Amino acid sequence: MAIVHTASFLIAGVLSQSLSAQSTSGTDASATLNSQILQELEALRKQNAALAQDIEAMRKQNKSLEGSVADLQVQQNGKWLSQERAKEVRSVVEDVLKDADARAALTPPVPTAGFGNRGFFIASPDGNFILNLSGQLQIRYATNFLSSRDYSILNANPGAGVNRNTAPAPSINSYNKSTYGFEIRRMKLDFFGHVIDPSWQYRLILIYNQNQNASLIPGGNNAAGANGSSNAGMEEAMVIKDMGDGFRISLGQFKSPFLREEIVSSRRQLAVERSLVDQMFSTKFTQGIQGTWTGDYLIFEAMYNDGGSNANTGATAAFNSESVGTPQNLNNGAGFTQWAVTAHAGWLAYGQWNDFNDLSSFPGEGEGLMFNAWLNMQRGGESATSAIQGTNNIPLNGNSDAQFLTWSVDASWHLGGANFFSYFVMNTAYDIPATTTNNISSINNYGAVVQGGYFITDTVELFGRWEWMSTQNKGVNDIGNVGNATTPTVANVFNAGRTNVYTAGFNWFIAGRQIKLTTDIGFTTAPLWFNNGIYGAGVTGTNYRIEPDGGGGQIVARTQLQLLF
């Protein structure tokens, strides 16, 4: 506006000068002067218009800046309000929590209970104490058919190939070609959980054992004092301390880490029963201490224990026959070991460790590939003399006065609807005391298993399995169970023998893993020459029978219903 005032002042001055000039210069100069004044006025008008445009532009810019400032003020005020609101909300939440704690202090804690993916459970409110309970029931019908050659040999020479020691052999023609019936193969109650905090874990498994000697002591549970009667027993009793970073220590009674087929639970097997190879080599349950480290792709386990299948044995029981003055056999019956060490290393090529808890691979579940190596070394109980239990100084089992080295390697491949599993296993018994009638430097046992399954529907799985077993005694594989009715031979895993076993069947998962029906049929191509494995596992639970030298094999058909809870 000051510019406009200046322009008006200039115009007034020019007009004043013009009037003065007219009065002094006369009329002639008037026209020329007027023309000049008009030109100057036009120029001033244009200049004034330009200045007005600049002023308008500046006014608009100023208004825009005022709006931006106002927006910033609103934003700052909103942010301030949000911070204040957050403080208020936080204060209200803290008050509510304090009130809840105060009310909880006045109310006694209530334990939680229910059923989850690991069975029934009871837990303390803080979760530091928990007890889980699950169960397993396997009801089986099995039939065994001996070959005609087995049938003829046994009925003509009833002591042949049967472990009866000094007991009288059955009479001629007393052997049945076929046997059949129902059985409760397994009934287990599994208690597990943690105390104090989740790092102190425990497990206790109670099992109802079969009466597997009913043919020797008739009457089963109704026979008073019968040693073979069914009874409840302890399968596992262990404490586990989780040290963190994948490391844990286990102490008590449980399976030593040897053979994947044995380590996988009986409730998660592919066929009705584990293979005869597993029974021949597995170390089953023992007592000791074990360290385990599990990483993303590697696992290592090492255990110092009482020896294969020496579960629930007394620490000093083997020495109770010692007497003063006269040395006694400290290993009468081959019943203990001096020491035993078991180890396992596994590599997960891809997949998750939990994918291999089953020997089946269900449709839609994770795929994976895993390799394992296993080792068991033990020294059987040393006796006061060099004598060893067993005919002709041949060991009876892994507790005999000798050294035993067993190792195995395996591979497992899960494809989310199909599975493949195979392993090779070998045992060498050496450092066997020599006698005047027998001097064996070592005895080698071999075994192999190849099996696979495929889901043809979401609930039905077909499977097949091949097994091979061989024992070389004095470097040969001839069946060693030669006997007669007068002097029956002990059926011993360290006798020489070999056979193949073929099995095929199907699984029907009626209600997921909870209810499963399995049916299979298997046959051996040569006689089965032992009734107990290297570490004492019996073959009775597989429904196969001991066969005589020169026998022709047998057929076994099984159907089993399994229920888990």
Closest CA to 544 of 167, 190, 169, 276: 276
Q: Is the pLDDT reported for residue 92 higher than 90?
A: no
Task: Name the nearest CA neighbour of 203 among 223, 182, 225, 188.
Answer: 188
In this structure, the number of other CB atoms found within 10 A of the CB of residue 333 comes to 14
The pLDDT value recorded for residue 340 is: 95
Cα 18 versus chain centre, distance = 115
Range from 236-240, 244-248, 280-284, 484-488 carrying the lowest mean pLDDT: 484-488
- Residues 414-442: pLDDT tens digits? 999 999 999 999 999 998 877 656 667 88
User: What mean pLDDT comes out for the span 337-356?
Assistant: 95
20 three-class SS: helix
In tens, the pLDDT along 292-316 reads 999 999 999 999 999 998 887 777 6
Backbone angles phi, psi at 252, to 5 degrees: 135, -145
Q: From CA 42, how far away is CA 53, in angstroms rounded?
A: 17
Beta bridge mates, 497: 471
Which pTM was predicted?
A: 0.76
Residue 360 has pLDDT above 70, yes or no: yes
Q: 153-191, pLDDT tens digit by residue?
A: 888 876 665 554 545 566 777 788 899 999 999 999 999
Average pLDDT of the segment spanning 230-245: 90
The most distant pair of C-alpha atoms in the chain lies apart, rounded to whole Å, by: 176
Tell me the mean pLDDT in the region 373-393.
Answer: 69
Q: Which CATH number fits domain 113-212+226-306+328-351+371-564: 2.40.160.10, 3.40.50.880, 1.10.10.60, 1.10.260.40?
A: 2.40.160.10
SS3 for 337-391 is EEEEEEEEEEEEEECCHHHHCCCCCCCCCCCEEEEEEEEEEEEECCCCCCCCCCH
Using the predicted structure, report yes or no on whether residue 385 has a pLDDT greater than 60: no
pLDDT at 390 over 70: no
- Cross-strand pairs, 522: 503, 556
| Residue indicated by tokens 């809870």 | 565
Separation in Å, CA 116 to CA 112, 120, 227, 305, 470: 12, 6, 39, 34, 45
CB–CB of 429/442 below 8 Å?
Answer: yes
Vertex 431: Cα angle to 425 and 436 (nearest 5): 125
Domain ranges across the chain: 2-90, 113-212+226-306+328-351+371-564
Stretch 270-291: mean pLDDT: 97
The pLDDT of residue 48 is above 70: yes
- pLDDT bin (cut points 50, 70, 90) of residue 133 is very high
The packing angle between helices 2-25 and 28-105, to 10°, is 170
